[in-house]
Structure 1
Amino acid sequence: MLVVGDVVTDVVARHAEPLAADTDTAARIAVRPGGAGANVACWAARCGARVRLLGRVGADSADWHRAELRAAGVDPVLRIDQDLPTAVVIALVDAAAERTLVTDSGAAFQLGPADWAEELLDGSARVHLSGYLFFSPPGRELAAVVAKSARARGLPVSVDPASAGFLRQFGVPGFLDAVSGTDLLLPNEAEAALLSGQAEPAEAARELSARCGGAEVVVTLGAGGALAAVGGRVVARAPAVAAGAVDSTGAGDAFTGGLLAARLAGADLPTALATGCRAGAAAVTTVGGRPPKAG
C-alpha cells in the first residue's frame, strides 16, 4: 500500500485541569512523531500490511522521522525541504483524553507534484491519501496526479478528510469535487456531518455514499464505534472496543490503518470495521498517534 500525506512532529501536552488564562497550567509534555498520513502508515504496518509512505519534511528533523518510520515497519520516501521546517502540531489533551490541536503545517503543505514518481506505485495494491493534501494548492495537485495514476493501474483510492476546521476553510463543494471518484471515504462524525449536511451519522454516511457515486463511506463515531455505507445505504456497523484512554491523538488514524490493512488482507467490510476499532482502542491507551514500540 502507498500512503501519501503529512509527517509531523507532535508536541503532546496532557493537562488534568482546565487551561488557565494568564498563568501556568501543569501538564505532562512529550514530543512524538506524528502526522495523519504517517500515523495511518504506521498502524497499517502494525496490522500486517506492507506500506510505503511519501511525505515532505524539513531538514531539521528528517533523519529522526525517517528512523521512526523504519522502526515502525514503514518504507519512508521523504522529500527534504531546505527552507521550511517539519510540520508541528501541539496537541492539548484534557483529563477526558480529548485533544485540541494547534497546527503549523510547515513543509507538509509544500508536498506537491514535483515530489511524485510513478514507480512509488510499484508493488502497491491500494493508495491512501491524507485529507491534509487537499488543503494546500500543491497538495491538491499531487492528490489529483496520484489518484489518476492509481486508477490507471486499477488501484482503489481512499481519502481521510482529516480536519473539520480545514474543511470549513477550504469549502465543502471544493473538497467533494476534489475527491470525486474516490473508492473509500473515511470521515469522523463531525467531518461527515459537515460534508453531508446531515447531523445523524447513518444519514450522513448514506448521503455521502450516494454523492460519491456509491463509494464506500466509513464514519468513525468515537465511543460509538463505526458504521459503513455503500451505494447509499448502511451495510455494516461495529462497536467500539473498551480501552483506558489517556490520549485520543491519532485514534482515527489508527482506525484507518487497521481497516486498510484488513481490506488488503481480503477482509470483508464488517471485519475490517472491527479491525479498525481494535486499532483505535489500542491507540488511545498510548501517548501520541503512533503504535507503541515493541519491547
Structure 2
Amino acid sequence: MTRDVRGLLVIGDVVTDVVALHAEPVATGTDTEADITLRPGGSGANTAAWAAHLGGDARLLARVGADTAAWHLNALSGVKTHVTVDPARPTAVVIAMVDDAGERSFLTNRGAARHLGPGDWTDALLDGVDCLHLSGYLMWTPEGLELARIAMRAAKDVTVSVDPASTRFLREFGTERFLAETRAADVIIPNRDEALALTGAAEPERAAELLGDIYGTAVVKLGPAGALLAQDGRIVARAGAVSAGPADRVVDSTGAGDAFAAGFLTARLAGSTRSECLEAGCRAGRRAVGLVGGRPPAVKNATELYPIDTN
C-alpha cells in the first residue's frame, strides 16, 4: 500500500433522512404540525461528507438502493465513493422527529445498508489510507460485523477508529461483546451515554480513562459541555463549551456526533495537537447542530474548523 496520502476511509451507512421539526409534542392518534424536509444522511456518509468539507481526503464504503442512488452519490461530492448500488433493495430510510430543543427520535428502515458485507471489501480500499473509521451501526448485522472484522484485520498499518453509534445497539449487541469485537481499534469515539454504558462508570471522566486503557485513545463527546480525551488510562486533553467557539443555535442534533468524529480525525491526520483535535471536533459538532440534517453546508471552507499543516 502507498503511505504518502493521509486518507480517511469510512465504512458505514448511506441513509435518506426524513427530518420532521415539531415545536409541540407528537400527538398520538391525530396530527402534529411540523416542518418536514428530505436530506441525505447516514452516520458513515455524514462523517465522510464532513471530513471532505473540512479539506480531508475522505473515502466511503457503503451500499445504496437503485431508487435514490444518483441523488445520494451527487450529495457525496468531494468524497471518494466506493458505493455498491443494490438493484433489489431501497436505500435505508430514517424518519427523524426533532423537537424544539433539537433532540431527536428515530424510526429506521436499514434497507440496502443492512446488506453491506464482506463481498463489498477489497484490501485495495486501504491504499493511501491512514485511518479506517467504523460506524457502530455496521455491526448490527452478521454481514456488517464480518466486514468490520475483515477490515480491521487488513488495517495492520492503519489507525482504526470506531464510533459505537447507539446505546440501544450496545444494549442489544452486548457491551462486553462490543469491546471484544473492536479491541483491535486504536481510537474509540463514544458520546457520554455510550461511554458510561460500555464501562459501567458513573462519570464520563472515569469512563474515558477505562476506555483509553483498553483502546489506547478514547474521545468522549459531552455535547454542549465539550469533549475529553484519554490516552492509556489517563485524561490528557479537554475541550469545553468556551474553547469550542460560539455555539450555533440548536436546530437539529442529527449528525452532530458524526461531524465531531470527522473534525477530530481530520485534524489528527493533519498533525494537529490533541487539544486542537478535540476543539476541531467540538467546532464541527457545534456547527452541525445549527443545520437541518446531518451534512455540512454545500459551500466548502477547508480551513475554517481546524488548522491544516500545508508543509
Q: What TM-score range do you get, normalising by the shorter chain?
A: over 0.9
Match of 2:126 in 1: 121
Q: CA RMSD in A?
A: 1.1
Aligned partner of 2:257 in structure 1 is 252
Q: Matches of residues 39-50 of structure 1 in structure 2 within 5 Å? A: 39-50=46-57
SS in 1 for 2:60: strand
The alignment status of 1:96 with 2:97, answered yes or no, reads no
Counterpart of 1:79 (choices 84, 98, 103) is 84
Q: Are positions 1:293 and 2:307 aligned together?
A: no
Structure-1 residue corresponding to 2:211: 208
Q: Does 1:33 align with 2:40?
A: yes
- Please report how far the alpha carbon of residue 83 of structure 1 lies from its aligned counterpart in structure 2 after TM superposition: 2.1
Alpha carbons 2:214, 2:232 under 8 Å: kept: no
Q: How many residues align?
A: 289
Aligned partners of 1:76, 1:190: CA distance in 2, in Å? Answer: 31
Separation in 1, partners of 2:117, 2:282: 32
Q: Which amino acid aligns with 1:291?
A: P
- The equivalent of 2:192 in structure 1 is 189
Identical residues among aligned pairs (%): 55
Aligned to 2:305: none
Q: Secondary structure at the match of 1:199?
A: coil
What residue number does 1:236 align with?
237
> Which stretch of the first structure deviates more once superposed, 59-68 or 236-245?
236-245
Q: Which residue of 1 aligns with 2:218?
A: 217
Give the whole-Å Cα distance in 1 for the aligned partners of 2:184 and 2:170: 18
| Distance apart, 1:82 and its partner CA | 2.1
**Which amino acid in structure 2 is aligned with residue 272 of structure 1?**
C
Listed one character per residue, the Cα deviations across residues 106-129 of structure 1 (whole Å, up to 9, x for unaligned) are 111210000011111111111111
Residue equivalent to 2:151: 146
Cα distance in 2 for partners of 1:281, 1:211 equals 28
Distance 2:226 2:203 in 1: 14
1:55 aligns with 2:48: no
1:126 is paired with a residue whose SS is strand
Instruction: Decide whether the 8 Å contact of 2:9 with 2:133 is kept in 1.
Output: yes
TM-score, structure 2 as length reference: 0.91
Note if contact 2:221-2:257 (Cα within 8 Å) is conserved in structure 1: yes
Secondary structure at the aligned position of 2:44 is classed as helix
TM-score computed with the length of structure 1 as normaliser: 0.96
Find the aligned partners of 1:101 and 1:49 in 2 and give their Cα distance: 29
Q: Does 1:169 align with 2:172?
A: yes
Q: Are the aligned partners of 2:20 and 2:37 in contact in 1 as well (CA < 8 Å)?
A: yes
Q: Which whole-Å CA distance do the structure 2 matches of 1:208 and 1:185 have between them?
A: 8
Structure 2 gap segments, 5+ residues each: 1-7, 301-311
Query: Once the two structures are superposed, what CA deviation does each residue of 1:11-66 show, in whole Å capped at 9, x if it has no partner?
Result: 10000011111110000001100000000001111111111101011111111111
Corresponding letter in the other structure for 2:65: G
1:134·1:178 contact (CA, 8 Å) conserved in 2? Answer: no
The 2-side partners of 1:156 and 1:106 are apart by 29
- The superposition leaves residues 161-188 of structure 1 with CA deviations (integer Å, 9 ceiling, x where unpaired) of 0111111111111111110121000000
Aligned to 2:76, the other structure's residue is in SS state helix
CA shift, 1:211, in A, is 3.0
1:112 aligns with 2:112: no
* Equivalent residue letter for 1:217: A
Cα distance in 1 for partners of 2:70, 2:274 equals: 37
Which of 272, 283, 286 is the matching residue for 1:267?
Answer: 272
Moved over 6 A (4+): none
The more displaced of 183-192 and 97-106 is 97-106
